[in-house]
Amino acid sequence: MRKKIIAANWKMNMTVNEADSFLDTFLLEVSEENRLDMVIIPPFTAIPRVSERLNKVQNVKVGAQNLSAEKGGAFTGEISASMLRELFVRNVIIGHSERRALYGETDAIVNKKMHTALEASLKPILCVGETLTQRDAGKVEEVLETQLKGSLAGLTAKELHETVIAYEPVWAIGTGRTASPAQAQVAHAFIRKVIEAISDHSTADKIRIQYGGSVKPDNTEALMSQPDIDGALVGGASLDPRAFSEIVKHTCKLLD
Ligand code: PGA
């Protein structure tokens, strides 16, 4: 059984004060929950505070939204893997579609970041997903396969075990338009097949694949009950502590 993982991608939202009041509510709501992994992924500036608070609760971890592919040096404005480790960051999102589309991150850059993160013992959440144009052109599998092979090149089976994949169809991110559970399941099963091809059956069976793209409390159960969906990467709905804890609770219902 793969343990489900629900993560909050706050993107460029939440000041330190706002993060604090989010945690005041959220941590109370989920204090009893140990059956799944929960990760809060704030902007860099709120990581120290969130990390300090989560250190006391054990059942929720802290993540980062990005990292530099470089280890250190003259890279103005960048944040290194060791700087994140120092703040007890556990997971790091790599290759989010917003970074690919707005900041020119190619599969080669994403791959370099994967290696940098794993060498520093950070656990990557690798995002892949097609645009609407690519879906309409019947290219979903081709796009996913290219992104996965490029982004995961040179990783060992052990490193793949440390990795979470997030399937995030670009057309479903922040649009309110979710992939149907069936559409998502097909993509997730395909991703697992690609992992098997580049690694082995046991690795493909163990790797966790999250769905992301307009996950809300009312569509959580249908998505999370699909056999190859192992969690959610939540943007918009993760900014509201009640909505995000509802998403956690709806997922837990499936574990009862
Ligand atoms: P959304 O974002 O839930 O707002 O669609 C998901 C993501 O981009 O990770």
Domain of residue 157, CATH code: 3.20.20.70
Output the residue whose Cα is nearest ligand 1's atom 1. Answer: 235
User: Closest ligand 1 atom to the C-alpha of 98?
Assistant: 8
Concerning whether 168 is annotated as a catalytic residue, the answer is yes
The reply to whether ligand 1 has any atom less than 6 angstroms from the CB of 173 is yes
| Number of domains the chain contains | 1
Q: Which atom of ligand 1 is nearest to the CA of 237?
A: 3
Q: Report the run of H or E that residue 210 belongs to, with start and end.
A: strand 208-212
* Residue numbers of the domain that contains 110: 5-253
Residue 230: closest CA among 77, 36, 26, 55: 36
Is 142 among the catalytic positions?
Answer: no
> Averaged over 71-88, what is the pLDDT?
98
pLDDT digits (tens, 9 = 90+) for 191-236: 999 999 999 999 999 999 999 999 999 999 999 999 999 999 999 9
- Retrieve residue 217's tokens: 């409390």
Is the CB–ligand 1 distance for residue 125 below 6 Å?
no
Which atom of ligand 1 is least distant from the CA of 93? Answer: 9
Q: Is the CB of 72 within 6 Å of ligand 1?
A: no
Give the DSSP per-residue string, 101-160: HHS---HHHHHHHHHHHHHTT-EEEEEE---HHHHHTT-HHHHHHHHHHHHTTT--HHHH
**Which residue has its alpha carbon closest to ligand 1 atom 2?**
235
Q: Where are the alpha helices (DSSP H) in the chain?
A: 16-29, 47-54, 81-86, 97-102, 107-119, 132-136, 140-151, 157-161, 181-198, 201-206, 217-224, 241-253
Average pLDDT, the chain: 97
* pLDDT, tens digit (0-9, with 9 covering 90-100), for 121-135: 999 999 999 999 999
When pLDDT is averaged across residues 8-16 and rounded to a whole number, the result is 98
Mean pLDDT (whole number) for 175-199? 95
Phi/psi of residue 127, nearest 5 degrees: -95, 135
Calculate mean pLDDT across residues 26-35. 94
Among protein residues, the one whose CA lies closest to atom 9 of ligand 1: 235
Residue 81: per-residue pLDDT: 98
State mean pLDDT over 110-114: 98
Stretch 103-117: mean pLDDT:
98
CB of residue 9 inside a 6 A radius of ligand 1: yes
Residue 256 has pLDDT above 90, yes or no: no
Percent of the chain with pLDDT strictly greater than 90: 96
Q: Check pocket membership of 247 for ligand 1, CB cut-off 6 A.
A: no
**pLDDT of 7:** 98
Report whether pLDDT(1) > 90. no
> What's the CA-to-centroid distance between 73 and ligand 1, angstroms?
32
Nearest CA, atom 3, ligand 1: 235
CA neighbor of 39 nearest in space, from 54, 29, 28, 25: 54
Q: Which residue has tokens 């994967």?
A: 114
pTM of the predicted model as reported, rounded to 2 decimal places = 0.97
